[in-house]
Amino acid sequence: MAVSPPIEPMLAKIAEHVPQDGAFLFEPKWDGFRAIVFRGPDDVYIQSRDLRPLDRYFPDLHAVFLKQLPSGVVVDGEIVMPTAQGLDFGGLQMRLHPAASRVEKLAKATPAAFVAFDLLAIGRKSLLDAPQQERRLQLEKLFKKIRRPLHLTPMTRDPKLAVDWLQRFEGAGLDGVIAKPAGASYQPGKRAMFKIKHVRSADCVVAGFRWHKSGKDAVGSLLLGLYDDEGTLQHVGVTSAFTMVMRQQLVKEFAPLRKNAPRDHPWREWAGAAAESSRMPGGQSRWSAGKDLSWEPLRIERVCEVKYDHMEGDRFRHPPVFLRWRPDKQPRDCRYDQLEVTPAYELQKVFGA
């Protein structure tokens, strides 16, 4: 095999806008598990972004790769879970289960798919030094004979169409647009591409916080909430991008808000409890890996504005970024109905773009 594992995937840096000048290949940004697939003479190895094996979690795809990919192929892409409502990232996470029997059951009930977007080797030839546009041509030739659940990601050189994709494809659960310099080689571990994502803001209730890992002299993260139509404050995520100076200042600012906070707090039954509700800010799961998720409730008085890209269900898909305090806003005004509603878009139309 011309390219052997492990190999770090090429990464992307954030850009605010779709580049309008220069030669780029534009592709949708898929919301799944990054994976590099190595097809050997007799077997397949599926490598994750952090260089770990994924084969045991996706036996359905392992079998498909063995059947459809020719020996010597190394392909970079994304494992996704298509549904009638779009991509289901939560369904992918369910696959990371320690019990093989559970994984097999999920693989049959909710099969995964793979979207290819780069080719690192074919036959005995490495393509790492080949230009992006050449690797794309080779990938297109390879996928002429390949069928679902393996897919070739759409590509355009037209920045106007890329902007259109950025708007339309979000409704199918996609995560933005990737811009790849047409003449660039594959650069493992380097941020040699650009990712363009939606930027939105929301006013959220600051309902509590977690201590910083350094100790109780600094705030680690803020627990955010939004009110639903029934007037219930729902936990929607956390924000934690602060300087150490601000973390220490927040301890002083929050001191008066901690007094008597648990008494009438809407999440008071969760404070210090090991409940199982997905709404619970301190709930353990297999994703938290035993981390200390204890938290300190605050009186419901503070509102902050955060920047986010999109929602997954009724929670922020990625941790939002703190922008500023909103002393002019009342907590009761922080509702779901302020959020932009993304029109649904049929996932199959993305594959056919």
Per-residue pLDDT tens over the stretch 165-207: 998 998 888 889 999 999 999 999 999 999 999 888 999 999 9
Domain boundary at 182, 197, 212, which? 197
Mean pLDDT to the nearest integer, 252-269: 93
Mean pLDDT to the nearest integer, 302-319: 91
Does residue 89 share a domain with residue 55? yes
Does residue 250 share a domain with residue 116? no
The one catalytic residue in 29, 67, 125, 329 is 29
Check whether 246 has a pLDDT greater than 80.
Answer: yes
Per-residue pLDDT tens over the stretch 17-33: 999 999 999 999 999 99
Cα separation, 174 vs 187, whole angstroms: 24
Supply φ then ψ for residue 45, to 5 degrees.
-130, 125
Does residue 123 share a domain with residue 23? yes
**pLDDT value at residue 222:** 97
Cα separation, 121 vs 138, whole angstroms: 10
Does residue 254 share a domain with residue 314? yes
**pLDDT value at residue 292:** 56
Domain count of the fold of the chain: 2
Check whether 214 has a pLDDT greater than 70.
Answer: yes
Supply φ then ψ for residue 136, to 5 degrees.
-65, -45
In sequence order, the 6+-apart residues with CB closer than 8 A to the CB of 189 are 8, 9, 10, 11
Tokens 């390219």 -> residue: 3
**pLDDT value at residue 162:** 97
- How many residues are given for the chain? 353
Cα separation, 15 vs 195, whole angstroms: 6
Domain boundary at 172, 197, 222, which? 197
pLDDT, averaged across the chain = 91
Does 351 reside within a domain?
A: no
Does residue 210 share a domain with residue 179? no
Which band of pLDDT confidence, cut at 50, 70 and 90, is reported for residue 274?
A: very low
Nearest to 172 by CA among 353, 352, 344, 339: 344
Percent of the chain with pLDDT over 70: 93
Does 349 reside within a domain?
A: no
Three-class DSSP labels, 226-256: EECCCCCEEEEEEECCCCHHHHHHHHHHHHH
User: Which residue intervals of 169-243 are DSSP H helices?
Assistant: none
Per-residue pLDDT tens over the stretch 216-233: 999 999 999 999 999 999
Does residue 205 share a domain with residue 148? no
User: Which residue intervals of the chain are DSSP H helices?
Assistant: 59-68, 89-94, 100-109, 132-142, 159-168, 244-258, 347-351
Does residue 260 share a domain with residue 236? yes
Residue 267 sits in a domain whose CATH number is 2.40.50.140
Does 345 reside within a domain?
A: no
Threshold 0.75, pTM exceeds: yes
Check whether 353 has a pLDDT greater than 50.
Answer: yes
Does 37 reside within a domain?
A: yes
Check whether 122 has a pLDDT greater than 70.
Answer: yes
Does 2 reside within a domain?
A: no
Query: Other CB atoms closer than 10 Å to residue 330's CB: what's the count?
Result: 12
Per-residue pLDDT tens over the stretch 127-149: 999 999 999 999 999 999 999 99
Beta strands 150-152 and 113-122 are parallel
Does 264 reside within a domain?
A: yes
Residue 143 sits in a domain whose CATH number is 3.30.470.30
Does residue 330 share a domain with residue 297? yes
**pLDDT value at residue 280:** 52
Check whether 351 has a pLDDT greater than 80.
Answer: no
68: DSSP letter: H
Cα separation, 98 vs 198, whole angstroms: 35
Query: For residue 270, what are the CA distances in angstroms to 57, 265, 281?
Result: 32, 10, 8
Structure tokens at 84: 């009638």
3-class DSSP state of 205: strand
Each as own residue / partner, the long-range contacts of residues 141-146 (CB below 8 Å, 24 or more positions apart, any chain) are: 142/70, 142/73, 142/75, 143/116, 146/68, 146/69
Q: What is the DSSP string of 269-311?
A: TTTT-----TT-TT---TTSTT-----EE--TT-EEEEEES-E
Cα separation, 332 vs 338, whole angstroms: 12
Check whether 286 has a pLDDT greater than 70.
Answer: no
Percent of the chain with pLDDT over 90: 80
Cα separation, 188 vs 41, whole angstroms: 24
Cα separation, 298 vs 257, whole angstroms: 5
Cα separation, 167 vs 186, whole angstroms: 28
For this structure, is 144 an active site residue? no
Does residue 212 share a domain with residue 166? no
In sequence order, the 6+-apart residues with CB closer than 8 A to the CB of 211 are 218, 219, 220, 296
Does residue 204 share a domain with residue 178? no
**pLDDT value at residue 271:** 59
Neighbour-count burial of 93, counting CB atoms closer than 10 A to its CB (0-12 exposed, 13-18 middle, 19+ buried): middle
Per-residue pLDDT tens over the stretch 36-90: 999 999 999 999 999 999 999 999 999 999 999 999 999 999 999 999 888 999 8
Check whether 312 has a pLDDT greater than 90.
Answer: no
Mean pLDDT to the nearest integer, 260-278: 70
In sequence order, the 6+-apart residues with CB closer than 8 A to the CB of 43 are 66
Q: What is the extent of the structural domain holding 185?
A: 11-197
